[in-house]
Amino acid sequence: MAKRERHLTDIETLFLNELESRGYRRGIDFATQYPLRYSFILDFAFPNKRIAIEVDGEPFHSPKKDSFKNYILKKTGWKLFRFWGQEVHENVKRCVDKILTELNK
């Protein structure tokens, strides 16, 4: 049986729509709900570039878990971008611009 992807939050959907409007394709260029070790799941990932993106809604934010996740990602060679929900709502284009700047290095 295929693994079911969890429902995207409203801020994840905004982020996804912005990536796709820029010509990036889910499942080809980037992944959503990308699984890692330690039962971590990244909101978005560009696995080939080792770019991890977390779009944090305030109710779901856990500083202790986030700190450990940040540590593991850094130790295993991932570049992490973390955006707050309010930041995405206010200017999703600017958030995605930061990712694209890193992708184009």
Question: What is the pLDDT of the chain when averaged over all its residues?
Answer: 89
Q: What angle, rounded to 10 degrees, do the helices at 10-21 and 85-103 form?
A: 30
Where does residue 104 rank: exposed (0-12), middle (13-18), buried (19+ CB within 10 A)? Answer: exposed
How does strand 51-56 pair with strand 79-84?
parallel
Alpha helices of 1-105 — where are they, by DSSP H? 10-21, 63-75, 85-103
Q: Is the pLDDT of residue 73 over 90?
A: yes
pLDDT digits (tens, 9 = 90+) for 10-43: 999 999 999 999 999 999 999 999 998 878 899 9
pLDDT at 75: 93
Task: Give the pLDDT of residue 7.
Answer: 80
pTM, entire model: 0.87
